[in-house]
A and B are shown apart, each in its own frame.
Chain A
């Protein structure tokens, strides 16, 4: 997810900030809320904010909670067709929000074996369920050792915090 983290956006997904803004009050919790994005154990993460879950012969790929949070409501998802090759670090599709268009990069190389067709009808699944219903593609990895180069949950959490802090 080639996202520029302009601002410490947490926005819509977080009930706490939405409730506070409705009352028109300044929420002191807001500055902390950026830490609330979920990062799951057992997944691997790319510094462009995609996750990959590799168990068995096929790896599932999507964008992280942190990424969807910064993007805002996803209104369109462009995905490759099954059978297409993907390359680590290269764009395989894109996500459109009200705010912007962002490329989605593949965290690993391989061949696309399945795409999440539900996203064409319900792109918002990426916001509501980034790690489950909002998965994007399944890939048969061509070089499983690439997974080693990716971040673990702890490392990625720290990466997000640092990235937010520098903006």
Chain B
């Protein structure tokens, strides 16, 4: 398998089909498709021409009628609406929910003002990343967070195990998994103006990473000004019975400019924004420091530690990691996951973790890990694709400037 993007399953089968009995594989996939979970927006996706693919146990749209190229460009020009209901929303409650969460993540949760949030990483004992997550402090006794669909089971098991031990020692924390809610991501320059039609709250006072509980389209929602495209935008947690109406209202208020957008364009967008896809660009054995997320380790946490793997992570901050995530431009075919990265003399220095053709820049972009020393912007490298080596160079990320609505 060459590619390992969001549609990795599709691609792996694409590759295998070249030589193997096509019918047998089709049948096998077909049987499993009936086991896939469907979000409440499934029928809306299909009615809008969504091409449904298996993703993390869910049947999700990889694209609609537009090409991935057009869809990506439209998000940056106008806006996109994504169904991200497969992701897992979770509330931690109790007067000790903050010290509890701080044992598991690198963020300074205590230091967050109520109504604000951040991207953070759940770490293991070795300092590796279990998952990335956007967390928000609702109040001092309530944290709302969203974890990846593909990591749901392991994340929940991990949190539960630590919660049991924490509460057995008298800590006050409990959880609620928001399976009664659906999650929509509205992204792009029209996200704010369109959503403003559907709420009385002044969205111009809600900045990047802020969190609010408010009525949208007449129903109580959780709103986080965040996303994973590099654009300004929102993630809206809405009661599932109201999700289809909200999606339709958003599309309608945008007069067709905001379009339903699938996982394909979502992957192009996050890659252009230089954001990690967990499972590709970040895994159990990669620390947040190696992944270039040192900024996400709260200042207080750097002094105090107190999270899983803190010794490893704090040491890496002090001494520098031995490998680092970098952005790359390259000639030739787009570099995909697992392509080898070499220095100019042909020596192995690392591996691509994800890559593709950038719809906005009209050239190949990729991210991967290289040995420290080869990580500086401008470093010339070779990238090996199907046995041939192509010129590449290390570059700063994001590839496409982000447009977050930051607090002035």
Q: Taking beta carbons and an 8 Å cutoff, which residues of A are in contact with B? A: 2-4, 6-12, 17-18, 20-27, 30, 47-48, 72-73, 75-76, 78, 91, 94, 96-103, 105, 166-167
Q: Contact between A12 and B3 (Cβ–Cβ < 8 Å)?
A: no
In angstroms, Cα B52 to Cα A104, docked, is 25
Closest chain A CB from B268 CB (angstroms): 7
Q: Which of B10, B254, B264 has the most CB of A within 10 A?
A: B10
**Given A21-B65, A27-B65, A100-B3, A76-B334 contact (CB < 8 Å):** yes
Chain A residues within 8 Å of B11, by CB: 4, 100-101
Could you write out 30 A-B pairs with CB less than 8 Å apart?
A4-B13, A6-B7, A6-B51, A6-B53, A6-B62, A7-B53, A11-B66, A17-B49, A18-B66, A21-B49, A21-B259, A24-B254, A24-B255, A27-B49, A30-B65, A48-B17, A72-B67, A72-B68, A73-B67, A76-B332, A78-B333, A96-B333, A97-B357, A98-B67, A98-B356, A98-B357, A99-B62, A100-B10, A101-B14, A101-B334
Q: Contact between A100 and B268 (Cβ–Cβ < 8 Å)?
A: no
In angstroms, Cα B30 to Cα A4, docked, is 13
9 smallest CB-CB distances across A and B, nearest first, come from A7-B51, A24-B256, A2-B18, A12-B67, A75-B357, A21-B65, A17-B65, A4-B14, A76-B333
Chain B count of residues within 8 A CB distance of the other chain: 45
Q: Contact between A11 and B256 (Cβ–Cβ < 8 Å)?
A: no
| Chain B minimum-CB-distance residue to A30 | B49
Interface residue B251 (Cβ < 8 Å from any Cβ of A): yes
Closest chain B CB from A65 CB (angstroms): 15
In angstroms, Cα B268 to Cα A72, docked, is 14
Q: Contact between B68 and A26 (Cβ–Cβ < 8 Å)?
A: no
In angstroms, Cα B332 to Cα A142, docked, is 31
Closest chain A CB from B256 CB (angstroms): 3
| Chain B minimum-CB-distance residue to A22 | B256
Closest chain A CB from B390 CB (angstroms): 10
Q: Which of A11, A22, A24, A78 contacts B386 (CB 8 A)?
A: A78
Closest chain B CB from A1 CB (angstroms): 9
Q: Contact between B51 and A94 (Cβ–Cβ < 8 Å)?
A: no
**Given A12-B69, A24-B259, A26-B48, A98-B359 contact (CB < 8 Å):** yes
Chain B residues within 8 Å of A24, by CB: 251-252, 254-256, 259
Q: Contact between B357 and A4 (Cβ–Cβ < 8 Å)?
A: no
Chain A residues within 8 Å of B336, by CB: 101
Closest chain B CB from A161 CB (angstroms): 15
Q: Contact between A101 and B2 (Cβ–Cβ < 8 Å)?
A: yes
Q: Contact between A103 and B256 (Cβ–Cβ < 8 Å)?
A: no
Q: Contact between B264 and A99 (Cβ–Cβ < 8 Å)?
A: yes
Q: Which of B62, B359, B386 contacts A94 (CB 8 A)?
A: B386
Given contacts A9-B51, A25-B256, 12 further A-B contacts (CB under 8 A): A4-B10, A7-B53, A11-B65, A12-B70, A24-B251, A73-B68, A78-B333, A98-B67, A98-B268, A99-B7, A101-B333, A166-B26
Chain B residues within 8 Å of A26, by CB: 47-49
* Interface 0/1 of B233-275, CB less than 8 Å to A: 0000000000000000001101110010000100010000000
* Interface 0/1 of B296-335, CB less than 8 Å to A: 0000000000000000000000000000000000001110
| Chain A minimum-CB-distance residue to B51 | A7
Q: Which of A18, A21, A91, A166 has the most CB of B within 10 A?
A: A21
Closest chain A CB from B204 CB (angstroms): 26
In angstroms, Cα B29 to Cα A166, docked, is 11
Interface residue B85 (Cβ < 8 Å from any Cβ of A): no
Chain B residues within 8 Å of A98, by CB: 67-69, 72, 264, 268, 356-357, 359
Closest chain B CB from A47 CB (angstroms): 8
Closest chain B CB from A74 CB (angstroms): 10
Interface residue B63 (Cβ < 8 Å from any Cβ of A): yes
In angstroms, Cα B62 to Cα A102, docked, is 17
Closest chain B CB from A28 CB (angstroms): 10
In angstroms, Cα B357 to Cα A126, docked, is 17
Interface residue B15 (Cβ < 8 Å from any Cβ of A): yes
| Chain B minimum-CB-distance residue to A19 | B65
Interface residue B369 (Cβ < 8 Å from any Cβ of A): no
In angstroms, Cα B10 to Cα A3, docked, is 9
Closest chain B CB from A155 CB (angstroms): 16
In angstroms, Cα B255 to Cα A140, docked, is 55
Q: Contact between B52 and A94 (Cβ–Cβ < 8 Å)?
A: no
Chain A residues within 8 Å of B66, by CB: 11-12, 18, 21
Q: Contact between B18 and A105 (Cβ–Cβ < 8 Å)?
A: yes
In angstroms, Cα B222 to Cα A37, docked, is 44
Q: Contact between A76 and B3 (Cβ–Cβ < 8 Å)?
A: no
Q: Contact between B30 and A166 (Cβ–Cβ < 8 Å)?
A: yes
Interface residue B82 (Cβ < 8 Å from any Cβ of A): no
Interface residue B211 (Cβ < 8 Å from any Cβ of A): no
Chain A residues within 8 Å of B228, by CB: none
| Chain A minimum-CB-distance residue to B49 | A30
Closest chain A CB from B261 CB (angstroms): 11
Interface residue B64 (Cβ < 8 Å from any Cβ of A): yes
| Chain B minimum-CB-distance residue to A93 | B386
Chain A residues within 8 Å of B68, by CB: 72-73, 98-99
Chain A residues within 8 Å of B356, by CB: 98
Chain A residues within 8 Å of B62, by CB: 6-7, 99
| Chain B minimum-CB-distance residue to A102 | B14
Chain B residues within 8 Å of A75, by CB: 334, 357
